[in-house]
Amino acid sequence: MKKKRKLNINIKRGFLLFLSIIIIGLSGSIFLLYGPWSGFRNLLITTAMTTKSHHYLATWFYSDEEIARVLAYNKVIESGEDTDTSLIDFEEDKEYDSIYEKQILERDEDALYKVIDISGTGYKGYLVAVYDPSKVKIGTTSKLGTTGQSTKVIAKNYNAHVAINAGGFYDPDWNSNGAIPHGTVIQNGKVVWDYEDANVGGGIVGFNQDNVLVLGRMTARQAINKGIRDAVEFGPFLIVNGKASFVRGDGGWGIAPRTAIGQRQDGIVLMLVIDGRGYQYGRPDILGCGMVELTEIMQRYGAVNAANMDGGSSTSLILEGEVASHPVAGGSEGLRNIPTAWIVTD
């Protein structure tokens, strides 16, 4: 009888402990979602709303008004300057002021590019230093306006040594085929696409005939008149003339896989790809990064000008024809169809 009574007491205690854990968990979740500390709420909303198919992670818990308020507050405030091309002098400094300078400048004499592993809290990635900016160009899907192609296919089409995704694309139903680029696309000095469909911040991101990366708000015609040879239209701009944009809150873009392109004072081009959403490939500790971290990495490696490119499921890096990053789209090898890519050719 005593053993039975003791067993019943233990069962009751176990149930009370289980119930307490549930209550504490629910209370903690409610506090995170609706409590006075806005950090988690801002992160959840901005991350969810910048994905293609996970808006429900925000809309389940918050009203449209609250989501709009959070998105309006968290933003990247650009300097408003256009690129001063005189800041790029193509003079390489052989003195290493930091480990980051050494990583960039220490290379084989005939190297076209060098890959540097990047890591930080919650993210891992790859920085490709391209030593001859004249080799950096825009590649497009061979069926522009009809069907997008993966970064790997675009790289193959141009026999590119390196390729990263570039601008975004028109996706009104979150289920498009990556065929229609955002805004202007310039290739080899000619406008191959010009479609005004969305405000994605930034503006023209492209190289001029002097191989200087130019960032600025301009029309396709103005870009051609400025001598832009290869460009897409996207953003936000992260750094212009050595001045970083001000990121309020988390910038409104949340945490996700990221892609960016920049250029140092010595002309070396920086192509940055950050992995994220690691739960899709067995690395739940790899989340991605936000605009603050993306800007800081570019500053660390000496970018004078830098811009964010399309991220999330579009983010990808191809090296010598093979997938080198961990893309998270549902297509072959995790790649999705996109309209444009930055490529490095002979």
Bridge partners of 319?
162, 322
Give residue 279's identity as a one-letter amino acid code.
Y
The predicted pLDDT at position 81 comes to 86
How confident is the model at residue 194, as a pLDDT? 93
87 within 8 A of 265, measured Cβ to Cβ: yes
What's the pLDDT score for residue 74? 72
What integer pLDDT is reported at residue 53 of this predicted model? 58
Task: For residue 128, give the nearest of 299, 245, 260 by alpha carbon.
Answer: 260
CA distances from 159 to 141, 163, 207 (A): 13, 10, 20
Containing 138, the helix (H) or strand (E) segment is strand 136-140
CA atoms in the 13 A half-sphere facing the CB of 173: 3
Amino acid letter, residue 118: I
Residue 186 CB burial class (10 angstroms; 0-12, 13-18, ≥19): buried
Position 82 scores a pLDDT of 81
Mean pLDDT by 10 residues, the chain (346 residues): 50 49 52 53 64 64 70 75 90 80 94 97 97 98 96 98 96 80 96 78 93 96 97 96 86 87 98 96 94 97 97 97 96 93 97
Q: What are phi and psi of 82, to 5 degrees?
A: -95, 160
CA 47 to CA 14: how far, in whole Å? 38
Can you give the pLDDT at residue 171? 78
The pLDDT, as a whole number, for residue 12 is 47
Whole-structure pTM value: 0.84
Contacts of 228 (CB under 8 A, 6+ apart): 186, 189, 204, 206, 207, 208, 214
Alpha helices in 92-138, H assignment, sequence order: 99-105
